[in-house]
Amino acid sequence: MHIDWNKTPLIPAIAQDHESAEILMLAYINEEAYNLTLSTGYAHYFSRSKQRIWKKGESSNHTQEVKDILLDCDADTVIFKIHQNGVACHTGRKSCFFTSVKEDKIILDKEVNTDAIYGVVDTLYHTILERKNASGEVKSWTKKLLDDKALLLSKIREEADEVCIAINEESDEQVIYESADLLYHTLVGLGYREISPDRVKQELSRRFGLSGITEKENRKK
């Protein structure tokens, strides 16, 4: 039995510990990610948020060695039987499934501090998504912004203006402070739209070697 990629170009891939059978995470694969997994022996996925292929552990080195691949009866879901190097979850927990719905609490502790691994921007973005998905009882400035688009947009405009003022007439420290405020509120805006900052990095990478004038002209076409 083979996967019909024309019928299902993106399918779920469950990562399961090959010894304990514990479910560690769920992601998605396309044909390219599947073939890379087969050829390298390490799990590759297609990130719907980043819109690209990614090797598990490419930033953290917490890779997944694939011991076997199981295909379900409809040939539209796979299980990667893996040996997990490090932890599976970007939060630093062994598994991505660490919140009990019935108990309404986190049931797995962090095993690794991943802040330095993923960088402050990615860590902050994931924190913003956690606030977005939190219950209405959770009180935070981020949650308030996410629940009020008009307020969010007004804050982004306000912070952008404050950066301009700081650059024009204030100290370096104030420029840094205001820029941090603008970056934070922009990340909340990305979180509101669920656009990973990785896609912004990809766009900046695409522009290397391309003059700003040419890039702007291309937008008009």
Condensed to tens digits (0 to 9), the pLDDT of residues 154-168 reads 999 999 999 999 999
Higher pLDDT, residue 136 or 128? 128
Q: Is the Cβ–Cβ distance between 87 and 112 less than 8 Å?
A: yes
Answer whether 11-106 and 118-219 agree in fold: no
What is the distance in angstroms between the CA of the first residue and the CA of the last residue of the chain?
A: 45
Confidence of residue 1 (pLDDT cuts 50, 70, 90): confident
Which distant-in-sequence residues (6+ apart) come within 8 Å of 55 by Cβ? Answer: 36, 40, 42, 43, 44, 63
What tens digit of pLDDT does each residue of 2-46 get?
Answer: 899 999 999 999 999 999 999 999 999 999 999 999 999 999 999
What six digits make up the tokens of 149?
């688009």
Residues 68-127: pLDDT tens digits? Answer: 999 999 999 999 999 999 999 988 999 999 999 899 889 999 998 887 778 899 989 999
Residue 221 has pLDDT above 80, yes or no: no
What's residue 114's pLDDT? 81
Q: What is the pTM of this model?
A: 0.78
Once rounded to an integer, what is the mean pLDDT over residues 171-180?
98
pLDDT in tens, 180-207: 999 999 999 999 999 999 999 999 998 8
Assigned token pair, 185: 């509120």
> Which residues face 23 on adjacent strands?
16
**Domain covering 118-219 assigned CATH 3.30.2010.10 in the classification:** no
State mean pLDDT over 53-67.
95
Domain ranges of the chain: 11-106, 118-219
Query: Please, is 113 exposed, middle or buried when counting C-beta atoms within 10 Å of its C-beta (0-12, 13-18, 19+)?
Result: exposed
**For the chain, the helix, strand and coil percentages under 3-state DSSP, each to the nearest 5:** 45, 20, 40
**Residue 213's pLDDT band (boundaries 50, 70, 90)?**
low
- Structure confidence at residue 113 (pLDDT): 85
Q: What does the alpha-carbon distance between residue 42 and residue 57 come to, in Å, rounded to a whole number?
A: 10
Name the superfamily (CATH) of residues 11-106.
Phosphoribosyl-AMP cyclohydrolase (3.10.20.810)
Tokens at 129, concatenated: 């998504």
Please tell me the predicted confidence (pLDDT) of residue 199.
95
Query: For strand 78-84 and strand 11-17, is the pairing parallel, antiparallel, or unpaired?
Result: parallel
